Amino acid sequence: MRHWRPSPPCPSPAYARQPTAAPGAFDLPPDEAAAAVAPAPVVVSPCSHRKSHCHIRRMGAPLQAAFVLAARRPFIEEPPQVLNIRICGNSFPKRLVIFYSRSEVVHLVHLPVVRRPREKRVPVPQQLSTPVVASSVLVPQRPPSIAVAVVAPLCSASGRRRREQSTEQPPTHPRGAMSVAFVGADGLSLKLAASFLRSGARVRCFVPEADRPRPASAALEQVDLDGLLRCASPAEAARDAALVIVLTDADVVDDLFFGAEGIAKGLCAGSVVLIQSTLLPSQLEKLGQKLADEKKDVFLMDGYIFSGLSDELKQQIVVIASGRQDVTERARQFFHGLDKTVYFAEGEFCTSSTIRVVNDLLEGIHFVASIEAMYLGVRAGIHPSIIYDIISNAAGSSRIFVELVPKLMSEDPLLIDFLNSAKKNASRVMDMAKSVTFPLPLLGAAYQQLIHGSSAVIGGGSASPLKVWEAAFGVNIVDAASQQIYDASKLADQLVMESKAAKRIGFIGLGAMGFGMASHLLKSGFYVVAYDVYEPTMARFADLGGSTKGSPEEVAKDVEILIIMVANEFQADSVLYGNAGAVPVLSTGTSVILSSTVSPGFMIRLNRRLEAECREIKLVDAPVSGGVKRAADGTLTIMASGTDEALHCTGSVLSVLSEKLYIIKGGCGAASSVKMVNQLLAGVHIASAAEAMAFAARLNLRTRRVFEILQHARGYSWMFGNRVPHMLDNDYTPYSAVDIFVKDLGIVSCESSNSRIPVHVSSIAHQLFISGSASGWGRYDDAAVVKVYETLTGVKVEGKPPMISKEDVLNSLPAEWPEDPIDDLVSIASRSNKKILVVLDDDPTGTQTVHDIEVLTEWTVEALVEQFLKLPTCFFILTNSRSMTCDKAMLLVQTICRNLEAAAKNVPGVSYTVVLRGDSTLRGHFPEEADAAVSVLGEMDAWIICPFFLQGGRYTINDIHYVAESDRLIPAGETEFAKDAAFGYKSSNLRQWVEEKTKGRVSENQVSTISITLLRTQGPNAVCQHLCSLEKGSVCIVNAASDKDIAVFASGMIQAELKGKRFLCRTAASFVSARIGIKPKPPICPNDLGLKRALTGGLIVVGSYVPKTTKQVDELRSQCGQSLRVIEVSVEMVSMKSTEDRDQEISRVIEVGNACIQSRKDTLIVTSRQLITGKTPEESLEINYKVSSALVEIVRRIDSKPHYIIAKGGITSSDIATKALEARRAKVMGQALAGVPLWQLGPESRFPGVPYIVFPGNVGDSSALAEVVRNWASSSRSSTKELLLNAEKGGYAVGAFNVYNLEGIEAVVAAAEAEKSPAILQIHPSALKQGGVPLVACCVAAAEQSSVPITVHYDHGTSKSDLLQALEMGFDSVMVDGSHLTLGENILFTKCISSLAHAKGLLVEAELGRLSGSEDGLTVDEYEARFTDVAQAEGFIDDTGIDALAVCIGNVHGKYPPSGPALRMDLLRDLRALTLKKGVSLVLHGASGLPHVLVKHHGVDTSSHYRLDR
């Protein structure tokens, strides 16, 4: 909700006509306003768009004063505002509320001024505020003001058009007040009516006799209905009403609407009807159609009105309305500004009533579960008040339980109404389920119980259900409640004060809960010796300073208290009495605390067994509740029972472990009975949550929205709030497994059977958990019981974010600012060339959008002075603070800022702006780092928040920050990034995000915004003006959807800086490049850096855990699996195991990694993909540190110099650069891929010159990492085509040498490496016959290991069969020699081989013309030689598709005659021109006999580029 602060009184009329600092606030001086206003209604209407102000016209009695709203601007729809108009210098007895939109007449409604504290606002909960952009009416004490409430919901352009097409205005009463009608009433609707009355509306109501509330209702007695007009018929109530709220049942709705005096008779044009009923959706649709047929200009909405019960909405009336978007938006104005009322538009017609159905399902199940739990607990001997007090604050609590149980214990007469309402609602839900063919086993059983409970009849009327339940359960709960009560928590307090001290504790069972409990005892000063069957857990405990033993027997020796925290009764019995059990060695007087969830019967039997030992061994029944985190924090809820002596001996330990400790009278078994009741309710509530959410999915509701709404409703339970998020996220990481409730509800089933208590609903829930376990989900989180419903019905409960089309949203925005501000940026910056942008980067990925910028990894004053002296436009300081704890990050930022201040003083004239570059998905230490910077640099004029990052798909639109996923936009708060263990958040709206992260220190209404509309329609000057108008210390959000938007903002910001303004920026990477005017350049490839041929493999290190990274790693393995060596680092080994295990794992990875890189294998070192998090953000950061430090050590100890290095993840890339590679500075060369920086490390680093690619964890699609690896991969060898193309570009010839043995191969390669020249190894057919496959293999191996490009060529293939064999032997290219054939035969022969070779990726050379001379036994007489004909050559190339042409210009094989070579250089030039034209290489055989001078002169100096055979 946005609130705008009223502006101060204005000094002059001229000032009054200008906008003040508070958007939408204007003042009117006395000469433009009268001192009083007549009670006549006033309507303010927008004038033509060609004008920029409004006119006021009168209706009814004349006004004594006219008001001119001198806005000097047209109406706008964003941002939504509260416009305050103050009558300066005069008292003003009325409050005027004005509703307007672009096309609708604006209504001024006279309301009495209500004296309230200054700026008291109606709160709107965060959960409901995202789709409802509303503003509250401010009612300041002095001077009074006119509050203009403008409601402008975020909607598409098409949505606005639909809204604008509705031209009818809400009807008002003849005297000006809005008229509201209520037909049907209950306590809640009467409270809503009272709220309307307080707002000044005229309210009428018709209440059927049967619906009239009981006069004795205490709630209604508090409702002030003064002014309510009671009507004799629905038609009378609805007459002339702008809003009609109808509450009715299905059986009377037709008569209520269409009877002789029905609602339809009184409805006027433009009326909105909001109906809350028991109608099914199909019935509602028919009602809507019938009403439309009879009253075409009336609008019907479906409603769900309930009392908010959450802490956020306590005592608020929540109105959920659904229908056509234009209708729900039209209705919003009626509810806007009502005190204690929240209006929420949700979905299409019938959505609201369908959400109510889901709530009713939960209410019905919770009702019956509460009955079963209470009677079972009372039957077990527990006082009902004790059960109520404990369960109300435990995991088994629900709002129905809290409301129902007191009525149950006191035999409240309203219990009958409660029961009948639950039964009626459950019947409707069952009908709905039947209509959509969906099974509701829990509600089905509950419904039968509700029917049974309402079956008691006395004198023809319903009697209290207590009689029915007393007969069924054999317990009179009212009598039980009247028994003497005790305070279980006070007994606990008394126990703790009187308990005996104990120091030596034995602990058996270090599971999730047990480990936390044992470690907390250790921290609290107890000596703890522990045992668990899982040795790694014992090693962890030993690392904390605890003592461990090899068996329960060893643990139990000489301890004062033995705590058992195992999974079930079997394990408890085993550790006490099994092989090497504890009981035989327990000292006399030892106390045993059993904290496992077991049956009361087991505790009773165990106590008897221990008493039979006759060693005064004392047993305490002490089940716990609260979860893993509370166990570690010592804040569990513990129910304890046993003898007084046993409790006194253990009280000190129980107190340390608990936040809430209850002492239950009744001896061993009593506490387990209370825990059993809690588990009954908890298990049923989880299962009912699964049934409800699956049913919601079948009803096509947005499950996440249903969850958010029902958090405030009556059907909520603790388990619903805790477990449904797991279902929505499809995340079943076990906190409490399905199998636990198989066990716990099994205990309920067994004990209820023994007590002869029927528990129908909990038995069904038990079967659901058993079904889940049988399906293989037993070890999943217990929320996975929803998968039973999903599997059975085919629905998916997972609450995927709403589909927002990226294309539609971006297309709906105004056109971009027409000018390119980047050039202006450069010229403006040149005027202040000593203003340097210093970017403190919390991980290395901030260099994603820049190039030719330096990065420092050290920040001494000397290093900073050196950098300032260079006068760069910008430089980065890599802080890597995101990997640190908050305190360390703040200290680091303060240190750097102090050093910057000191360095700047040493360089005359230098000034700088600090940018805190953070994550574009809003993770990081905000506002702590900003606070740290300000504490050193002084208060800034404003903090700039700008997380836009185009390459990563991050957009900020209407203050909502989005993450693009494929073709849709997802609010950032609904992505996996918002669930970050260390930096998680809820808000997608950046103003709310600021309030959330600052913990309310900066409220959202204090956050200023620069909209996309301003950037695109008013440009940099407007940005400058806005920034200059901000109050000192403001926070400003920058919206952006393109790089142009950021450039416009940056230009305006520079203008403001030139005027002396100082800003601290918290931004993503895009802002930096825009701010310094860097224009993007294409991604860099290895050739751009002039890298030599790789002799080693590349190194890819992956530490990031975001789901996107995991997908990218999977795709990399899929695409590059054959050429990639994957080494997985066990996260558990390096972060959770012993130091020895950690060192062993690191050494293993180093050894394998070195070998792979040395053998020219691209090597992926990746952490295991199972995410391990700590119990707190600090513990999660500690685990991250251990993993990162392990990767650092691995890379630091790898000796083989990689061809390139890719580091995936911000923390990973920073630590590897600074710690493993020891780089103190680097230069950003550009990007290897959009958003993926490529660094050149400084000469001081371990591997200078090696490209270092910083790959962020959250950038790119699933194939992005594979694409970068393919671009930089160490290829086995160059192809002949690449070799010749490079020669073409470089202006040199490539030598081709015939080889016959290993010595010849070594000689050619050695010479090529010495000359740093590429070469071709040729094998003649005769040599191949002698050397065979081994000769080819030697050539290929030599080519692969060479440091210069070498390829292997099959020369002079004259036989088709020989050529076909050569194609399969590993050659890079082949020569098809058909020179002995006629031209036609040569073409056919060459074309055949060419097509086959090209299919295998081989280059094809062919010969046209014929050389004389001898080569490898082949002799061609001089008379047979033929020069190459240029005309024939052109046709030959076209017909055969060859890649290289060997020609004859007088060159010969072997020795030239004594007179020397007679070369036709003119023919060579013509042939060269032809091959250039055709794009083929030119080959000259017979170069071995040519003089060196001739080769150099004609081969290079004439720029003729050949392959020369020698």
Summarised one tens digit per residue, pLDDT across range 975-1031 is 888 888 788 898 899 998 999 999 889 988 899 999 999 999 999 999 999 999 999
pLDDT value at position 711? Answer: 93
Q: How many CB atoms lie within 10 A of CB 409?
A: 21
Say yes or no to pLDDT of 368 above 60.
yes
Contact 1244, 1224 (CB under 8 A): yes
What band does 247 get if pLDDT is binned at 50, 70 and 90? very high
What band does 462 get if pLDDT is binned at 50, 70 and 90? low
Instruction: Write a three-state SS string for 215-229.
Output: CCCHHHHCCCCCCCE
Contact 98, 148 (CB under 8 A): yes
Q: How far apart are CA 1418 and CA 1409, in angstroms?
A: 16
Say yes or no to pLDDT of 859 above 90.
yes
The stretch 168-194 carries a mean pLDDT of 73
The mean-pLDDT minimum among 99-103, 350-354, 524-528, 704-708 falls in: 99-103
What DSSP state is assigned to residue 1422? G
The mean-pLDDT minimum among 190-194, 287-291, 1284-1288, 1491-1495 falls in: 1491-1495
Q: How far apart are CA 1041 and CA 499, in angstroms?
A: 66
The stretch 372-378 carries a mean pLDDT of 96
Look up tokens 């909105």; give the residue. Answer: 272
Contact 695, 412 (CB under 8 A): no
The mean-pLDDT minimum among 1097-1111, 1359-1373, 1379-1393 falls in: 1097-1111
Say yes or no to pLDDT of 6 above 60.
no
Say yes or no to pLDDT of 826 above 60.
no
Share of the chain above pLDDT 70, in %: 81
pLDDT value at position 546? Answer: 93
pLDDT value at position 1072? Answer: 92
The stretch 719-731 carries a mean pLDDT of 92
Say yes or no to pLDDT of 9 above 90.
no
Q: Mean pLDDT in the chain?
A: 82
Q: Catalytic residue positions?
A: 675
1258 membership: H or E segment, kind and range: none
HSE value, Cβ hemisphere, 13 Å, CA-based, for 1250? 25
Q: How far apart are CA 1012 and CA 1046, in angstroms?
A: 10
pLDDT value at position 1260? Answer: 80
Task: Tell me the chain's radius of gyration from C-alpha atoms.
Answer: 41
The mean-pLDDT minimum among 612-616, 1173-1177, 1315-1319 falls in: 1173-1177
Q: How far apart are CA 352 and CA 350, in angstroms?
A: 6
What tens digit of pLDDT does each residue of 1037-1088 get? 999 999 999 999 999 999 999 899 999 999 999 999 998 888 888 888 887 8
Higher pLDDT, 1201 or 4: 1201
The mean-pLDDT minimum among 366-370, 1261-1265, 1344-1348 falls in: 1344-1348
What band does 137 get if pLDDT is binned at 50, 70 and 90? very low
Residue 1457: is the preceding peptide bond cis (ω within 30°)?
A: no
What band does 1235 get if pLDDT is binned at 50, 70 and 90? confident
The mean-pLDDT minimum among 467-471, 1330-1334, 1424-1428 falls in: 1424-1428
What tens digit of pLDDT does each residue of 1417-1463 get? 556 566 566 788 889 989 999 999 999 998 888 777 667 677 667 78
The stretch 250-269 carries a mean pLDDT of 89
The residues pairing with 58 across neighbouring beta strands, listed in sequence order, are: 42
pLDDT value at position 77? Answer: 34
Q: How far apart are CA 1306 and CA 1346, in angstroms?
A: 10
pLDDT value at position 1413? Answer: 64
What band does 27 get if pLDDT is binned at 50, 70 and 90? very low
The stretch 402-430 carries a mean pLDDT of 92
pLDDT value at position 42? Answer: 35
The mean-pLDDT minimum among 569-573, 717-721, 797-801, 823-827 falls in: 823-827
Most confident stretch, 676-680, 974-978, 1491-1495: 676-680
Higher pLDDT, 911 or 1005: 911
- Could you list the beta-strand ranges (E) of 842-967: 853-856, 874-878, 911-917, 942-946, 954-957, 960-965
pLDDT value at position 430? Answer: 96
pLDDT value at position 15? Answer: 29
pLDDT value at position 139? Answer: 30
What band does 16 get if pLDDT is binned at 50, 70 and 90? very low
What band does 352 get if pLDDT is binned at 50, 70 and 90? very high
Contact 1285, 1318 (CB under 8 A): no
The stretch 246-261 carries a mean pLDDT of 89
Higher pLDDT, 397 or 1414: 397
Higher pLDDT, 2 or 352: 352
The stretch 1093-1109 carries a mean pLDDT of 80
What DSSP state is assigned to residue 30? G
Q: How far apart are CA 1405 and CA 1441, in angstroms?
A: 10
What band does 1494 get if pLDDT is binned at 50, 70 and 90? low
The stretch 684-689 carries a mean pLDDT of 98
The mean-pLDDT minimum among 116-120, 217-221, 850-854, 1307-1311 falls in: 116-120
Query: What is the reported pTM?
Result: 0.57
Higher pLDDT, 73 or 890: 890
Contact 531, 552 (CB under 8 A): yes
Cα dihedral sign for 243, 245, 250, 253? negative
Q: How far apart are CA 1242 and CA 1248, in angstroms?
A: 6
pLDDT value at position 26? Answer: 34
Q: How far apart are CA 1171 and CA 1383, in angstroms?
A: 69
Residue closest to 684 by CA, chosen among 767, 598, 568: 767
Contact 1451, 1401 (CB under 8 A): no
Most confident stretch, 68-77, 194-203, 1481-1490: 194-203
Token reading at 1257: 């964890």
pLDDT value at position 292? Answer: 87
What Cα–Cα distance (Å) separates residue 1465 from each residue in 1450, 1482, 1504, 1506? 9, 14, 11, 14
